[in-house]
Structure 1
Amino acid sequence: MIWLELLILLACILVGSRVGGVGLGTVAALGLFALVFFLGLPPSQPPVVVIGLIVSVVSAAATMQAAGGLDYLVGLADGFLRARPRLITILAPLVCYVFTLFAGSAHIVYAFLPVIAELSRKEGVRPERPISASVIAAHLAITASPVSAAVLILFAATAESGVRPGHILAILIPATLAGTLAAILSVFRKGPELADDPVFQERLKSGRIIAPEVRRLTGRDLLRARGSVALFALAALVAVVFGLFPSLRPAFPGDESDELVRLGTTQAVCLLMASVAALNSLFFGARPDAAIKGSIARAGVVAVVSILGITWLTNSFFEGNRAEILGAMERLIDAYPTAFVLALFVVSSLLLSQAASAAALVPAGLALGLPVPLLVAMFPAANGMFFLPVYSIEVSAMSFDQTGTTRIGRFVLNHSFMRPGLVGVGVSVAVGAALSAVIL
């Protein structure tokens, strides 16, 4: 039964990507309907937390666009990148890596994806290049962040071995940074230039997108635009601070005890970004009707529908077959300990979470006698969520790229994130192994 369910999952991705737009989500929802009503697969909970996060971030970015903030950013980038537009392919992933490293959550890149897409499009750079590398950079940073749940699980599991967190970070941060740089290089000249891309040209001719042009701001419009950008940047920085210093987040009594529970990072980002949207409307002239009609809001709707369908379908498939999948991975590790790297990759591609993958497999690896230095070196392999293009960040990235260059290929697996993902993870593990041999 699991193979039939997997076949339906892959068929939904293939057909949905051909339909385009919200089709990825609606076709996936149809597939989930078939699995639930005809094959008896119990559905998981819908991904309401992720959807709420995307709605709040899109609201902030859309109102910033309505206030002229995106035009202001494009104007700044136009002056800086005009002679060297390819720099955005380098700078955008590094920014996403740093912010994710300190925030401890890759979901913070939702705030950057629409900006990266618009900046690269208006600078004539193929958006697929910086977008795909930025998504992979954010994934890799999670497995090196001292405040991410995945790395904290690794710290706890290896505590009795005498390996200190500082040693682990001294391996994982350089390794994943090297992986990020390798991912950037792998896509630096990928695909035809934007002006020569047939999909982009077809969309231009059909009127699905408008040829980019830089709007020059003056006077009061310029002040409002600057204010909206400053507010957006401040919210992103505050999110990073909340990730680094949890004690700054408010705490509330738990439902079943008097023990205080901290506000989660995801909830904090939701509140911050939703507040940015309100402040942009109140103080920086962002008209709600203009925000809704903007390109970011339209792309956000596509992202929400797509994530509702495809993420719900994927989560339901894994949760319904969790015991069988994890059991197979544990048997593989028992027979071939070095296959732990493959097990981490496969489980994370299905579970769509570095932390959940670490919690499921790291204790098993240690129990089976896997050396701690080898386990630490292999840890970046828990970034397989790009393999099937169903993770919320990948789906959002494709939705925000109006040019159609960031997309799923004809055979599902030949999508925009495959090359930088495999290169980034492979280099991270290789560099991690070299550093682990020296440090541990």
Structure 2
Amino acid sequence: MLWLEVIVVLAAIFFGARLGSIGIGYAGGLGVLVLTLGLGLKLGSIPIDVILIIMSVIAAIGAMQVAGGLDYMVSIAEKILRKNPKQITILAPIVTYVMTFFAGTGHTAFSTLPVIAEVAKEQGIRPSRPLSIAVVASQVAITASPISAAVVFLSGVMEKQGIGYLELLAILIPSSFLACMCAAFVANFLGKDLKDDPIYQDRLAKGLVKTRGATKLELKPGAKLSVAIFLVSILAVVTYATLISDKIGVIKNPVLPRNEAIMLFMFAAATFISFFTKIDAAQVLNSATFKSGMSACICVLGVAWLGDTFVVNHIKEIKAIAGDLLNVYPWLLAVVLFFASTLLYSQASTAKALIPSAILLGVSPLTIVASFAAVSALFVLPTYPTLIAAVEMDDTGSTRIGKYVFNHPFVIPGVIAIALSVIFAFVIGGMIL
């Protein structure tokens, strides 16, 4: 029966991956149905907190997008990139990392990818270099964002292990950022120079490569104000979470727990943005950010529920098999998280499905925190939305998927970024904890 249950879980994940996008959530729910009604397993927990945090953060970002805030952030990013175009491979991941860090979602990278590709072409730089590491940085930054669902979930479980919110961020932020910068340096040397790429030369000769030049965005009146409100709300989240933490303890027995506080601060931000910038709140429902966020909620619901249902029914067997192995080779947790995230397509889903099991297996808190960056291996399969967007936006043909599927420009920078994030986190965590 155990093997049959494993087959059901893997089949649901692979089937969902084939459906793509929100389909992995659908298939995850189908897998839960088969495991429970079909095979009689006990129902696992629904990842309610993770889903609600994603919804509330996306609600605020959607309002900011309608108010023109994301366009304003992109205009700043374009100025930075065009001011130092020769350093595009280093600056591009900084831009996408920072935007994801503040927004809590990697989908903000969509708006910067065309600018990155254009600036690279203008400088004769192979666009696949900055685009690949920019996409990777936007994914890795999720594991450092103070308002991402994955980090909020991790902070909740690690607080019970004696690691506070600020300590967690103090490990995750520098380790992930430094790792992305190292990967950017390597990416600068990957692939042939654009002038030596036969595919580019062929596309150029056919007139398929176009240069658009700098874009001129007409910013809405409330664009800057919406960004300011959103940033203040993030500051409020971090401040409140710090004040109620056991380590700081300024607010004893808080009426409002941290997760609920994050949701309410985000709703407050959305309210203020809607009111002061005078947007039509109904338009938020049609914004690209809102749609992608709601899709993420479905994916987390289906996949994390599937994983939890399987784990809670077999925790004894898993502990017997994996417990001793992880104690001897703790870095294997990062490997498990890496490969799981390639299939689960979500940092939050992967964390929710596997981190609690690692804690039950007795894995040390430092190992769990240091391995956390490995949940960002969403770049391995060339089907993730931002990855596909980067391929489509590069008309030089340099950012392409190879015939062996896995031989694409995102793999090497991505593996380097995650491997170094884990290593740096072990070093920094060892000094802080």
- The question of a shared fold, defined as TM-score above 0.5 by the shorter chain, is answered with yes
Instruction: Give the equivalent residue in structure 1 for 2:320.
Output: 327
Instruction: Give the equivalent residue in structure 1 for 2:389.
Output: 403
Q: Secondary structure at the match of 1:124?
A: helix
Instruction: Give the equivalent residue in structure 2 for 1:14.
Output: 14
Match of 2:8, as an amino acid? I
> CA shift at 1:245, angstroms?
2.5
For 2:428 and 2:249, locate their aligned partners in 1 and report how far apart those are by CA, in whole Å.
35
How has the CA–CA distance of structure 1 residues 185 and 250 changed in structure 2, closer, same or farther, with 3 Å as cutoff?
Answer: same
How has the CA–CA distance of structure 1 residues 291 and 180 changed in structure 2, closer, same or farther, with 3 Å as cutoff?
Answer: same
> What is the root-mean-square deviation of aligned Cα atoms in Å?
4.9
Does the CA-based 8 Å contact 1:347-1:357 persist in structure 2? no
Instruction: Give the equivalent residue in structure 1 for 2:43.
Output: 43
Does the CA-based 8 Å contact 1:10-1:412 persist in structure 2? no
How has the CA–CA distance of structure 1 residues 438 and 52 changed in structure 2, closer, same or farther, with 3 Å as cutoff?
Answer: closer
For 1:68 and 1:170, locate their aligned partners in 2 and report how far apart those are by CA, in whole Å.
31
Deviations 1:145-183 (A, max 9, x none): 9x9456656658xxxxxxxx99x9999886555434345
Does the CA-based 8 Å contact 1:52-1:270 persist in structure 2? yes
Does the CA-based 8 Å contact 2:372-2:422 persist in structure 1? no
Whether 2:143 is the aligned partner of 1:139: answer: yes
For 1:55 and 1:381, locate their aligned partners in 2 and report how far apart those are by CA, in whole Å.
26
Whether 2:273 is the aligned partner of 1:284: answer: no
Does the CA-based 8 Å contact 2:135-2:386 persist in structure 1? no
> CA shift at 1:272, angstroms?
1.2
Instruction: Give the equivalent residue in structure 2 for 1:118.
Output: 111
Instruction: Give the equivalent residue in structure 2 for 1:105.
Output: none
For 1:435 and 1:290, locate their aligned partners in 2 and report how far apart those are by CA, in whole Å.
44
Does the CA-based 8 Å contact 2:370-2:426 persist in structure 1? no
Instruction: Give the equivalent residue in structure 1 for 2:232.
Output: 234
Does the CA-based 8 Å contact 1:154-1:358 persist in structure 2? no
> CA shift at 1:34, angstroms?
1.4
Give the TM-score of the pair, scaled to structure 2: 0.67
1:92 to 77, 90, 96: 96
> CA shift at 1:328, angstroms?
1.3
Whether 2:350 is the aligned partner of 1:360: answer: no
Aligned ranges 1:237-316 → 2 under 5 Å: 237-246=235-244, 260-261=253-254, 263-316=256-309
Q: Secondary structure at the match of 1:231?
A: helix
Instruction: Give the equivalent residue in structure 2 for 1:215.
Output: 217
Does the CA-based 8 Å contact 2:44-2:309 persist in structure 1? yes
Whether 2:316 is the aligned partner of 1:318: answer: no
Instruction: Give the equivalent residue in structure 1 for 2:34.
Output: 34
> CA shift at 1:215, angstroms?
2.9
For 2:225 and 2:94, locate their aligned partners in 1 and report how far apart those are by CA, in whole Å.
27
Whether 2:50 is the aligned partner of 1:60: answer: no
Instruction: Give the equivalent residue in structure 2 for 1:205.
Output: none
Instruction: Give the equivalent residue in structure 2 for 1:381.
Output: 371
For 2:304 and 2:18, locate their aligned partners in 1 and report how far apart those are by CA, in whole Å.
18
Match of 1:226, as an amino acid? K
Deviations 1:330-384 (A, max 9, x none): 23257xx2x23215653795972586366334x566xxxxxxxxx9578613544
Does the CA-based 8 Å contact 1:378-1:429 persist in structure 2? no
For 1:53 and 1:409, locate their aligned partners in 2 and report how far apart those are by CA, in whole Å.
37
Greater mean deviation of Cα atoms: 416-425 or 290-299: 416-425
Q: Secondary structure at the match of 1:352?
A: helix
Does the CA-based 8 Å contact 2:92-2:134 persist in structure 1? yes
Aligned ranges 1:169-184 → 2 under 5 Å: 178-184=178-184
> CA shift at 1:229, angstroms?
1.1
Does the CA-based 8 Å contact 1:36-1:42 persist in structure 2? yes
Instruction: Give the equivalent residue in structure 2 for 1:342.
Output: 332
> CA shift at 1:271, angstroms?
0.9
Match of 1:215, as an amino acid? L
Match of 1:403, as an amino acid? A
How has the CA–CA distance of structure 1 residues 409 and 11 changed in structure 2, closer, same or farther, with 3 Å as cutoff?
Answer: farther
Match of 1:21, as an amino acid? S
For 1:428 and 1:128, locate their aligned partners in 2 and report how far apart those are by CA, in whole Å.
17
For 1:11 and 1:411, locate their aligned partners in 2 and report how far apart those are by CA, in whole Å.
22
Match of 2:62, as an amino acid? A
Instruction: Give the equivalent residue in structure 1 for 2:398.
Output: none
> CA shift at 1:270, angstroms?
1.0
Runs of at least 5 residues in structure 2 that lack an aligned partner in the other structure: 119-127, 201-213, 342-349, 393-400
Does the CA-based 8 Å contact 1:299-1:400 persist in structure 2? no
Greater mean deviation of Cα atoms: 15-24 or 228-237: 15-24
Runs of at least 5 residues in structure 1 that lack an aligned partner in the other structure: 100-107, 157-164, 198-211, 252-258, 366-374
For 1:31 and 1:344, locate their aligned partners in 2 and report how far apart those are by CA, in whole Å.
25
Instruction: Give the equivalent residue in structure 1 for 2:125.
Output: none
How has the CA–CA distance of structure 1 residues 185 and 141 changed in structure 2, closer, same or farther, with 3 Å as cutoff?
Answer: farther
> CA shift at 1:81, angstroms?
1.8
Does the CA-based 8 Å contact 1:281-1:288 persist in structure 2? yes
> CA shift at 1:228, angstroms?
0.8
> CA shift at 1:116, angstroms?
2.7
How has the CA–CA distance of structure 1 residues 53 and 439 changed in structure 2, closer, same or farther, with 3 Å as cutoff?
Answer: closer
Match of 2:93, as an amino acid? T
Give the TM-score of the pair, scaled to structure 1: 0.66
> CA shift at 1:387, angstroms?
5.6
Greater mean deviation of Cα atoms: 169-178 or 277-286: 169-178
> CA shift at 1:284, angstroms?
0.3
For 2:236 and 2:216, locate their aligned partners in 1 and report how far apart those are by CA, in whole Å.
30
How has the CA–CA distance of structure 1 residues 413 and 15 changed in structure 2, closer, same or farther, with 3 Å as cutoff?
Answer: farther
Aligned ranges 1:181-200 → 2 under 5 Å: 181-185=181-185
Does the CA-based 8 Å contact 1:15-1:27 persist in structure 2? yes
Does the CA-based 8 Å contact 1:81-1:123 persist in structure 2? yes
> CA shift at 1:77, angstroms?
2.1
For 2:82 and 2:65, locate their aligned partners in 1 and report how far apart those are by CA, in whole Å.
21
> CA shift at 1:231, angstroms?
0.6
For 2:250 and 2:111, locate their aligned partners in 1 and report how far apart those are by CA, in whole Å.
35
